[in-house]
A and B are shown apart, each in its own frame.
Chain A
Amino acid sequence: MTSQLDYTLVVGLEIHVQLSTRSKLFCGCAVEFGASANSRVCPVCLGMPGVLPVMNRQAYEDSVLVASALNCKIAPFTKWDRKSYYYPDLPKNFQTTQYDLPLSYDGFIEIPIENAGPKRVRITRAHLEEDAGKNLHSSGPFSQVDLNRTGTPLLEIVTEPDLNAPAEVKALAMELQRIVRYLGVSEADMQKGHMRFEPNINLLIRKEGREYKTPITEVKNLNSFRALERSVAFETQRQLDAFCETGKTMVSGSKTTRGWDDGRQVTVLQREKEEAHDYRYFPEPDLLPVEMDAAWLKRIQSRLCELPLQKQTRFVHAYRLSPYDAGVLSADRATADFFEKTVGHGAEPKRVCNLLTQVGLKLANERDCGLVELGLTSRAVADLVLMVTRGEVSASGGNTLLEHMVTSGKRPEVLADELQLLQKSDSAELEIIVDKILQEQDKAVAEVRARGKKAKKAQGFLLGQVMQRTGGQANPQVVSELLAKKLS
């Protein structure tokens, strides 16, 4: 019965992105994934008595850079606040974060939507804060605490509730991943927990001419795109069912927190502490405010670059690529740059694209590296493409050559020769062979000349014969043209 309801899904997203600074936000401990437990800790990030924080400039500038890319206003004056809650992975029992004066606010992000133009989602704010450590739960009656992650810089980005489908939520998350990678401020590696999502979800239900809002749920700490998309989808259905069953609507304080059970693919209600929302924010007395002036902002924003979606759109128009191909090429900045450099050497964009996406990225994947780490130069790839364009090698020969270029590091023309992949395009030379075949195959020649049902097949047969005779090295296009001329 729920399916009959007319409803709109309303989602706002909170995203925590770990910035890839060398040291932590307030101390000199290395930010390092996978170090042995409690080895990247000092008195400051351990929150020992008497310690004081000093802000990492890089973390602040990276935050401003991302905020600028998200079209946010950058606050000329920003400060930090303490947010109090007790938890074993939070050694000071307060988190240093930003409350009423975040470093940026009022921006937007454009996200690609399948079969439609990009969608604009408003950004409420983006601010810089510290991460907590990790609690580990073994099977015994105890939990273990590792504080290596404590104090790692996090950029928290909060969107307005502008997302209306699980796929949109996922698209935003992925777009943001591309952006922070483009800007070089985060590895954004999901496996390492570099991005964590918290969607706020509810429904706007229209029933019998009236509108109802279901209570908001916040799903905590999702760390994969899949879990994010699925939890939103799950919540949509769960809230629909709950509305039909109970009719409960949103009232102040009705927001609940849920967790995602990946094994069962469901969200589960988390126990709410009575004082859960009394964080007692107040200005962090141990840190000074930061004032941003125009010159500094300009210096930071000089690191801005064309963003992935802009690049993708430009690739579609400038190089006549499909949106899909353009998306693949612009997924990371280095690949996109490599593509453009190759095209810049005069190679045909579509052919470069095919070669890179069908062969290059496949090889990179197999080697678990980036396309640009395959050891190819844009010059060599361009030369290869030009050989294909000139008909010196076939398209499939080009694919083979690229693979060998990666393994051997040799130039394409050298490999083409070694592997005998050069095509014969000299029409005078080919004409002799064509004439020979035409003499030998009079049956097929007759069929072509008769222009009957069998003509097309016969012409294909003749082409095949020529190719066979030349050991596959004839340029099929030249041969086709010769055949057409002789049999017309």
Chain B
Amino acid sequence: MEQKITESQVEKVAQLSRLALTPAEITEFTGQLESILEYVAKLNELETDHVEPLAHCLPITNCLREDEIRESMGAEKTLANAPQRDGPFFRVPKILDDHSGP
């Protein structure tokens, strides 16, 4: 947490974020992220070894819906906002490195 963020790290983060940043933006963001992270390092003042993380504030669990079918939108509505389509499909430039599926 103490070491400074470098431009090459920022480039990597930009790549992970799928943001094509210009070299000038990389430089700018490096400085800005550095000062923000420096500020965030303030959290290290707190001893939190025995503190549970709080992911959300609600004291509730088990929100489950019944397995019932609701109407879908249909292809026309689904594709209405598509920047590019190919008949009933969304269209993207050729995917060469396919490893689809989770």
Residues of A in contact with B (beta carbons under 8 Å apart): 16, 21-23, 27-30, 36-43, 46, 54-60, 77, 79, 83, 86-90, 93, 95, 97, 129-132, 134-137, 140-147, 154, 156, 196, 220-221, 257, 259, 270-271, 273-275, 278, 280, 283, 285, 287-291
Q: Which of B61, B69, B92 has the most CB of A within 10 A?
A: B69
CB contacts between A and B, total, < 8 Å: 161
Q: CB within 8 A of B93: which of A89, A141, A274, A291? A: A141
A283 proximity list for chain B (CB < 8 A)? 55-56
Q: A37-B89, A134-B100 are in contact. Are A291 and B62 (CB under 8 A)?
A: yes
Query: In the bound complex, how far is the Cα of B61 from the Cα of A196, in angstroms?
Result: 31
A38:B95 contact, CB within 8 angstroms: no
List the A side residues contacting B90 at CB < 8 Å.
38, 88, 144-145, 147
* Whole-angstrom CA separation of A36 from B67 in the bound complex: 22
Q: Does B9 contact A (CB under 8 A)?
A: no
Nearest CB of chain B from residue A287's CB, rounded to whole Å: 7
Q: Are A271 and B97 neighbours in the complex by a CB distance under 8 Å?
A: yes
Interface residues on B, range: 35 or more
Q: A60-B64, A83-B102, A288-B62 are in contact. List 20 more A-B contacts (CB 8 A).
A: A23-B70, A28-B70, A37-B88, A39-B74, A40-B72, A41-B75, A57-B64, A86-B18, A88-B95, A89-B100, A90-B102, A135-B100, A141-B94, A143-B95, A145-B90, A145-B91, A156-B102, A259-B99, A280-B16, A291-B61
When chains A and B are docked, how far (Å) is the Cα of A278 from the Cα of B95?
Answer: 21
Name 22 A/B residue pairs within 8 A (Cβ), A-sorted: A22-B67, A36-B88, A37-B75, A37-B89, A39-B72, A39-B75, A41-B72, A42-B72, A54-B65, A57-B64, A89-B101, A90-B102, A132-B100, A137-B95, A142-B93, A143-B92, A143-B94, A145-B89, A271-B97, A274-B12, A288-B56, A291-B61
Among B63, B88, B94, B102, which residue has its beta carbon within 8 angstroms of that of A39?
B88
Given contacts A55-B65, A143-B94, A283-B55, contact A196 B101 (CB under 8 A): yes
Q: Evaluate whether A56 and B72 lie within 8 angstroms (CB atoms) in the complex, with A142-B86, A283-B55 already known.
A: no
Measured between beta carbons, the chain A residues less than 8 angstroms from B89 are: 37-38, 136, 144-146
Given that A143-B94, A275-B16 are contacting pairs, would A221 and B72 also be in contact in the complex, using a CB cutoff of 8 Å? no
Q: Does B58 contact A (CB under 8 A)?
A: yes
Kindly list chain A residues whose C-beta atoms are within 8 Å of the C-beta of B68: 22-23, 28
A144 to B94, CA, bound (A): 8
Q: Which 9 pairs show the lowest CB-CB distances between chains A and B? A: A28-B70, A144-B89, A58-B67, A57-B64, A145-B90, A37-B88, A283-B55, A38-B75, A143-B95
- Inter-chain contact B56/A57, CB cutoff 8 Å: no
Provide the main secondary structure of the chain A interface.
loop
Q: Does chain A have a CB within 8 A of B37?
A: no
Residue of A with least CB distance to B88: A37
Q: B47-65 CB contact bits vs A (8 Å, 1 = yes)?
A: 0000000011010111111
